[in-house]
Amino acid sequence: LVGALLAGNIRPARGLFSSPSHRLRAPPLSHVSTPADDGRRAALLCAFAVLTGAPLPAAAVSPPLPLVSASGRESKLRSRLGVRVLSVCRIMDELQRDIFEGRWDLVEEYPTQLRSFIPVLTAYTNTAFPDDEIDADTKVKQRYEVGRFFGSLNKLKKATDRKDFDAAFRAYADMALSYDCYLRTGILYQYEDVPTEKYFIDVDDVSLTYLDLRRKPAFPGDLILLVSGPDKGR
């Protein structure tokens, strides 16, 4: 999971969905809501807004995650469909870079490419969570996020036709939020989501190492450092 530039501070590294921590291991199987859930969606959009100086929208709070059946708790990371769903991470990284570089000739090709994943996302939801009763909430949540993702993709296409950077930027941010939530509800996170704020209670903020955004602007692919919130220090 990418964090947020909550205080506008960064340090160089990799793409939005390709940080090393995003590939470590499968998440805990418990679906108990934590404080980190509440700020996760707003955190991603906050990160994009800081990069461009855009005003921050109202924070979007994720609802508690639904329960899943025993079959739904089995590892999804090694399944063929799970691997294909995760391949969207690379496409999102490339799309982010092309938007920020203003490569409209390349950005206009992404809607067609991403729409080809509709059957994959739908099939994963139906096969990974087969119980129509216990898994019903999970299916609804995933289908909702798929709808939001492709709705935002349509906005991206319109923004690309107009070469409107601000609109394209916000459409991509909404796509990233929905895709992130789809991965989480689909048990496709590849690292253990443990709040780290408690480890920095007695740590002075001046000891955190990062670059001043005012002196060195952020670029797509830069690693970000969280300086407040439940994921502080990550």
Q: Average pLDDT for residues 39-66, to the nearest whole number? A: 46
Closest to 218 (Cα-Cα) out of 17, 45, 51, 94: 51
Q: In angstroms, how far is CA 83 from the centroid of its own chain?
A: 16
pTM above 0.75, yes or no: no
pLDDT in tens, 13-43: 344 454 433 333 333 333 344 444 445 545 5
pLDDT in tens, 177-194: 999 999 988 888 776 667
Whether residue 220 is predicted with pLDDT greater than 70 in this model: the reply is no
* pLDDT score for 49: 47
Whether residue 146 is predicted with pLDDT greater than 80 in this model: the reply is yes
* pLDDT score for 158: 96
**Tokens at 89, concatenated:** 């991470």
Question: What's the CA gap between 80 and 76, in Å, rounded?
Answer: 9
Strand partners, 11: 223
- How would residue 103 be classed by pLDDT, with cut points 50, 70 and 90? very high
Closest to 192 (Cα-Cα) out of 134, 231, 232: 231
More confident call, 50 vs 184: 184
Q: Average pLDDT for residues 130-140, to the nearest whole number? A: 84
- How would residue 76 be classed by pLDDT, with cut points 50, 70 and 90? low
Whether residue 95 is predicted with pLDDT greater than 90 in this model: the reply is yes
Tell me, what DSSP letter sits at residue 103? -
Q: Write the CA distances from 109 to 42, 89, 121, 163, integer angstroms.
A: 28, 16, 20, 14
Between the two ends of the chain, the Cα-to-Cα distance in Å is: 10
* pLDDT score for 22: 38
**Tokens at 145, concatenated:** 């996020």
Closest to 16 (Cα-Cα) out of 88, 106, 92: 92
Closest to 23 (Cα-Cα) out of 105, 86, 84: 86
More confident call, 51 vs 178: 178
Tell me, what DSSP letter sits at residue 197? G
